[in-house]
Amino acid sequence: MKKQARYLVPGDYMADPSVHVFEGKLYIYPSHDRESGIPENDNGDHFDMKDYHVFSMDDADGEVTDHGVALRAQDVPWAGRQLWDCDVAFRDGKYYMYFPLKDRNDIFRIGVAVGDRPEGPFIPRESPMKGSYSIDPAVLDDGDGNHYMYFGGLWGGQLQRYRDNKALECAAFPADHEPAIPSRVVRLSADMLEFAEEPRPVVILDENGHPLTAGDNERRFFEASWMHTYGGKYYFSYSTGDTHKICYATGDNPYGPFTWQGVILTPVVGWTTHHSIIEYKGKWYLFHHDSAPSGGRTWLRSLKVVELEYNPDGTIKTIEG
């Protein structure tokens, strides 16, 4: 593959790709953007998505197959509105799709839908996962029988409304010198349908071993968690939101703490940036999105892939957005 990013689904708007290798192929699980006509605001009301398509590829350079609609908001028994970034995990012959969706009280919860095939269809459960909140679930299969979900997002993602896994009476942002609001990590139950424990904060430390602060906008977590492993280390990557970068931090285990390392992707066209990192056929890839094809309309994003490279010391070479 050339070092130039390529667009994957030119005929439609897709964003927030979560990518896994299932049955020897690359499977892509994106958000399905659409023109809703809802004005842009800090709550993200303009991201009013109603379904998910699943895509697959035999090769990162190759043709992209659209497997069609895998889940619709209208089929989720507890649905309010807005299907945002999803992910899919495999265990014991079944595929589990995890999706954030607002309930009828306009609160984001994380739901599960179950399928027999990586492309779905996925059948949603009656209720959201107990104790779930906020957005952007990303699941790591740790290879030892455990699956860990990373989740959370600020502003429209509602993470500022929770502390210690309890809803606050009103949203609270820390002062600039205080520790930043962290993403969350939780081990999933053996049946993959619930949390096996209380979610824990994903703490990101600076070079001096101090948690990144809320005022450190160039480095602190905002949304779009992803986890992969490389060289025996855990790489937690995420978007910084209003500074529009994909950054990463590394640690020794799935819970962290993680130490900030650098920028993976500089800002792209559009407000949001969101990605996944995957190894396939001996190479590494960054799947992401931008709003260039829609002329910068930030709610109409297009899927991209580009090769990702490591330095000999395990750091990731920065990709220009």
Positions in the binding site for ligand FUB (CB under 6 A): 15-16, 31, 47, 84-85, 135-136, 153, 223-224, 272, 274
Catalytic one of 85, 87, 136, 223: 223
Q: Which long-range contacts (CB under 8 A, 24 or more apart) does 239-246 make?
A: 239/272, 239/273, 239/274, 239/275, 241/154, 241/155, 241/217, 242/217, 243/217, 243/218, 243/267, 244/268, 244/271, 244/272, 244/273, 244/321, 245/218, 245/273, 246/273, 246/274, 246/275, 246/286, 246/288
Q: What are phi and psi of 77, to 5 degrees?
A: -55, -30
Contacts of 207 (CB under 8 A, 6+ apart): 259, 260
Q: Shortest gap between Cβ of 192 and ligand FUB (angstroms)? A: 21
Q: Shortest gap between Cβ of 108 and ligand FUB (angstroms)? A: 9
Q: CB–CB of 156/47 below 8 Å?
A: yes
Q: Shortest gap between Cβ of 59 and ligand FUB (angstroms)? A: 26
Q: Shortest gap between Cβ of 36 and ligand FUB (angstroms)? A: 12
- By beta-carbon proximity to ligand FUB, the closer residue of 31 and 261 is 31
- Whats the size of the chain, residue-wise? 321
Q: Shortest gap between Cβ of 301 and ligand FUB (angstroms)? A: 8
- By beta-carbon proximity to ligand FUB, the closer residue of 70 and 117 is 70
- By beta-carbon proximity to ligand FUB, the closer residue of 108 and 285 is 108
Q: Shortest gap between Cβ of 252 and ligand FUB (angstroms)? A: 26
**Cα gap 243→109, rounded to integer Å:** 26
Q: CB–CB of 247/259 below 8 Å?
A: no
- By beta-carbon proximity to ligand FUB, the closer residue of 56 and 291 is 291
**Cα gap 154→86, rounded to integer Å:** 16
Q: What element of type H or E holds 172?
A: none
Examine the residue annotation and report whether 136 is marked as an active-site residue of this protein.
no
Question: Which of 290, 202, 207 minimizes the C-alpha distance to 253?
Answer: 202
Q: Which residue, judged by CB position, is nearest to ligand FUB in the bound state?
A: 84
- By beta-carbon proximity to ligand FUB, the closer residue of 120 and 152 is 152
Examine the residue annotation and report whether 223 is marked as an active-site residue of this protein.
yes
- By beta-carbon proximity to ligand FUB, the closer residue of 38 and 196 is 38
| Sign of the CA dihedral with 26 first, then 76, 84, and 97 last | negative
Catalytic one of 12, 16, 141, 191: 16
Which burial class, exposed, middle or buried, applies to 135 when counting CB atoms under 10 A from its CB (0-12, 13-18, 19+)?
A: buried
**Cα gap 89→29, rounded to integer Å:** 11
**Known catalytic residues?**
16, 223
